[in-house]
Amino acid sequence: MPYTGSCACGAVTATIGGEPVAVRQCWCRRCQRVAAGSATTNAMFATDDIVLTGILSSTSYVADSGNTLTQSFCGACGTPVMGQSSARPQFRTLRLGLLDDAQGLAPTVAIWTDEAPAWARIDPMLETFPRQPPAPAPRPE
């Protein structure tokens, strides 16, 4: 089942033709800034499965993991769209808020939990990683 989505103003749209390889919450400080103090919730899809239309703005930085991360957002309304890591060019990590229907995409992993604030409530059913997790397994062909 393909997923679709758009930013708040509709200038950026997404169509995703495959299933995510991972759905995660990220508690790193950068993601907390993007998410107004909480974790971001993200679905990692194969790059080849994603079609984006519209104009994205982006910013890149070297993360604590040592990888260069590029965060993309709608330049018109500021809606966070996706992240991509230099270590995993085969994947793009889309923000669940971008998707029209993300009800079936519950996170199974929480990452960078060492950076979560003391008040954070991380679901004990999630697999957790204090810092950077290993890369997801490749999809079977």
Share in percent of the chain as helix, strand, coil (round to 5): 10, 40, 50
pLDDT, tens digit, 9 for 90 and up, residues 78-108:
999 999 999 889 999 999 999 998 888 999 9
In this structure, are residues 79 and 124 in contact, taking their beta carbons and an 8 Å threshold?
no
The pTM score is 0.85
Judged by DSSP in three states, 121 sits in coil
Residue 77 CA to residue 46 CA, distance in Å, equals 26
Residue 135 pLDDT: 72
- What CATH class is the domain 3-129? mainly beta
Domain ranges of the chain: 3-129
pLDDT, tens digit, 9 for 90 and up, residues 29-45:
988 998 888 999 999 99
Give me 7's structure tokens. Answer: 């930013």
Residue 33 CA to residue 27 CA, distance in Å, equals 10
